[in-house]
A and B are shown apart, each in its own frame.
Chain A
Amino acid sequence: GNSVTQMEGPVTLSEEAFLTINCTYTATGYPSLFWYVQYPGEGLQLLLKATKADDKGSNKGFEATYRKETTSFHLEKGSVQVSDSAVYFCALGNAGGTSYGKLTFGQGTILTVHP
């Protein structure tokens, strides 16, 4: 079945540092890929998505590129801020059949950014 593996956390960075959170997946077909973010005390919010190979999703300075050849969707940001401290989840959307659209999540990566 489908699965998503995220890099182990937590990740602690200083403000303005470069961020990479690795995400790899196993899936049948051509799934869509997502990054969701969960700020303290809040629900899951979509951060960015990509629906086909080589697509780049971007939002709020974050980027991720759908790499079919390496089955990866790594999240990057060039300069993190304290306000980026949150839990980040990589997710895969089923490509078809009765489960079309169902999300499979990674285990999440806790990011803490210090001033």
Chain B
Amino acid sequence: DTGVSQDPRHKITKRGQNVTFRCDPISEHNRLYWYRQTLGQGPEFLTYFQNEAQLEKSRLLSDRFSAERPKGSFSTLEIQRTEQGDSAMYLCASSLAPGSSYSETQYFGPGTRLLVL
């Protein structure tokens, strides 16, 4: 079990550019979550997948944000036309889905820190 990994760990971009982040969950986990954390605040939910299906999106997720999990394994989060307000830490977490072996515990990756200049 190698844990949840995220890439890149840091990203600096100019306003208006597109960025894409990747998350690799724990291999047997079928749920994958994205959160955003700004300085001095707790993480805020953005979206989550169960296998390849995106089941919920927060109102925080504007049209410039899109997330995919094409084969039910890794996921990508893309931000188009970045704005300075997008600067934050983007966290990925994974867990098992409700079922006989369900554990609600979410395991978090180290995060991708985005700075938009």
User: What is the interface of chain A, defined by CB distance below 8 A to chain B?
Assistant: 4, 32, 34, 36, 42-46, 49, 51, 89, 91, 93, 98-108
Contacts and interface: CB of A to CB of B under 8 A. Distances in A.
A36 B5 CA distance: 18
Scoring B42, B43, B106 by chain A CB atoms within 10 A of each residue's CB, the highest score goes to: B42
A102 B40 contact: no
Scoring A34, A100, A101, A104 by chain B CB atoms within 10 A of each residue's CB, the highest score goes to: A101
Interface stretch (B14-22, B63-71, B80-88, B107-115): B107-115
Contact of B104 (A43, A49, A106): A49
A105 B42 contact: yes
Contacts of A99: 56
A43 B40 contact: no
A55 B48 CA distance: 28
B111 A89 contact: no
Given A105-B43, A106-B42, A46 B107 contact: yes
